[in-house]
């Protein structure tokens, strides 16, 4: 599904040049659960942003199915992102004024799903993450773990090809982290392709494959 070849990323502020990724190559098959691990500053977020079409590589080739993502810009890149990618972040970024159900229904609205179906699908998604009873609650009435589960339901609402997760348990205590990781494993068992970035080896071990990055290079992939 995903094939990156010799991907490099240089950030250039005009004053300093930072090589965030250097000649990174790997393939990811549909249905895999991959953890990308490495110390802070090694290039994990840069890699995830390129994978998700939020940033473009300076050099190299990125194929997603038959799409040359590295050649997309502007609205075609946005279209790729909306169709193929679901994102979850360390901060949950739910809309504070909206209920859990409304948050989950949001991307369905962007995809022009009708109002009635939107509500029904949002409730099904909340059920899938074990939160159907909290549909009417707003984010401040939910624990951190519950908020992240709502964010995951929202991320998969339009059935993306891949879920990208950037330190998804970074703001959670042990118990909530465990719950969120169990949810990701559960979604993986149902066939979802997941790429998760973390600096925590214990979490990475929950995935089936670990890609380790150091100073912008892959040093291990097993």
Write out the residues near ligand ADP by the rule CB under 6 A.
Answer: 11, 18, 20, 38, 40-46, 140-146, 176
Count the alpha carbons within 13 Å of 194 in the hemisphere toward its beta carbon. Answer: 31
| Shortest reach from residue 144's CB to ligand ADP, in Å | 6
Min dist CB 212 to ligand ADP, Å, is 11
Nearer residue to ligand ADP within complex by CB, 16 or 112:
16
Q: At what angle do helices 174-189 and 144-155 cross, to 10 degrees?
A: 20
Decide whether 45 or 103 has the Cβ nearer to ligand ADP: 45
Distance in Å, CB of 220 to ligand ADP, minimum: 15
Choice between 44 and 118, CB closer to ligand ADP: 44
* CA 126 from centre of chain: 18
Nearer to ligand ADP, 10 or 31 (CB): 10
- Between CA 24 and CA 61 the distance in angstroms is 10
Beta strands in 38-117 (DSSP E): 59-64, 67-68, 85-88
19 vs 209 by CB, closer to ligand ADP? 19
- Both tokens assigned to 30: 């549909």
Q: Least distance to ligand ADP from the beta carbon of 146, Å?
A: 5
CA distance 60 to 58: 7
Strands (E), the chain: 2-12, 17-28, 33-37, 59-64, 67-68, 85-88, 162-166, 193-198, 209-214, 217-221
Minimum gap (Å) between residue 40 Cβ and ligand ADP? 4
What's the token pair of residue 122?
Answer: 């949002």
């Amino acid at each position: 599904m995903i094939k990156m070849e010799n991907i490099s990323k240089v950030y250039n502020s005009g004053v300093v040049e930072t090589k965030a990724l250097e000649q990174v190559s790997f393939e990811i098959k549909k249905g895999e659960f991959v953890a990308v691990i490495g110390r802070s500053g090694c290039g994990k977020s840069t890699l995830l942003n390129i994978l998700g079409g939020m940033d473009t590589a300076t050099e190299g080739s990125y194929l997603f199915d038959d799409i040359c993502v590295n050649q997309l810009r502007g609205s075609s890149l946005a279209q790729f992102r909306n169709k193929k990618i679901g994102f979850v972040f360390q901060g949950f970024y739910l809309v504070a004024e909206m209920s859990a159900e409304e948050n989950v229904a949001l991307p369905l609205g962007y995809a022009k799903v009708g109002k009635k179906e939107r509500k029904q699908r949002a409730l099904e998604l909340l059920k899938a993450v074990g939160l159907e009873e909290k549909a009417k609650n707003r984010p401040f009435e939910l624990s951190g773990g519950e908020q992240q589960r709502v964010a995951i339901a929202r991320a998969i609402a339009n059935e993306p090809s891949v879920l990208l997760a950037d330190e998804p348990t970074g703001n959670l205590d042990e118990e909530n982290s465990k719950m969120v990781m169990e949810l990701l494993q559960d979604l993986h068992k149902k066939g979802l392709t997941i790429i998760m970035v973390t600096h925590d080896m214990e979490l990475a071990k929950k995935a089936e494959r670990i890609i380790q990055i150091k100073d912008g290079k892959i040093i291990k992939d097993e």
